[in-house]
Amino acid sequence: MFTTENLILRGFQDNDLGEILALRNDPLVQRTQTFSAIAPAPSSKYKEYMKTFAEGSALWFSLVHKESLNFIGFCCINLLEAKNRDARLGITIASEFWGKGYGTEATRFTVNHAFRYFGLQRISLDVTEGNARARAVYAKLGFKVEGIKRRGNWVDGHWEDIIYMGVLDDEWTEMYPEH
């Protein structure tokens, strides 16, 4: 278990699954998580899927708000091809906790931890064009745009590009030498 200024970052617990399902069923969140159609997630199937996903992640942090002890989301790292020492970052925070700096705090800690302990040389992610909040967090922390898939996602009656971003280990060390 780790702590940052406002968060406790702990391992996955089965009783997180109800909260994770609630997150998925928030349309504001779901549209950022899938390129499929927006639809309510069926309880047992989705919980089973997320349990497998969480337990299979190289690094999974369930995010707990230090002051209230509420579960507020999760941040994870999933390995891509091992030989490339590349991994994918995922983060989700409940919408009532957006805009308070927690996304930046959790992402920074997770990326830092992944570079420090997992021997990665890059961390990758994709984000939709309309997800300005996530793009702001990634850009602020030093992720760079590496490519764009034009009209990659149909959402809410319009097309959005999918933006591929990444950060390299030496870039991270230069930005955050204390890591």
Ligand X SMILES: CC(C)(COP(=O)(O)OP(=O)(O)OC[C@H]1O[C@@H](n2cnc3c(N)ncnc32)[C@H](O)[C@@H]1OP(=O)(O)O)[C@@H](O)C(=O)NCCC(=O)NCCS
| Residues at the site binding ligand X, with contacts judged by CB under 6 A | 29, 32, 73, 91-93, 98-104, 125, 127, 131-134, 136-137, 140
Q: Which is nearer to ligand X, 156 or 170 (CB)?
A: 156
Return the structure tokens found at 149.
Answer: 């898939």
The residue (of 4 and 49) whose beta carbon lies closer to ligand X is: 4
Task: Please state the closest distance from residue 102 (CB atom) to ligand X, in A.
Answer: 4
Q: Which two tokens stand for residue 68?
A: 């209230």
Scanning the structure block, which residue is given the tokens 């420090």? 116
| Smallest distance, ligand X to C-beta of residue 68, A | 15
Distance CA 179, CA 86 (A): 19
3-state helix, strand, coil in the chain (%, to 5): 40, 35, 25
- Nearest CB to ligand X, comparing residues 77 and 127: 127
- Rounded to the nearest whole angstrom, what is the least distance from the CB of residue 179 to ligand X in the complex? 18
Of all residues in the shown chain, the one whose CB is closest to ligand X is: 103
Instruction: Output the smallest distance, CB 175 to ligand X, in A.
Output: 15
- Our CA dihedral for 29, 35, 38, 39, rounded to 10 degrees, sits at -100
Nearer to ligand X, 72 or 120 (CB): 72
Backbone angles phi, psi at 126, to 5 degrees: -130, 150
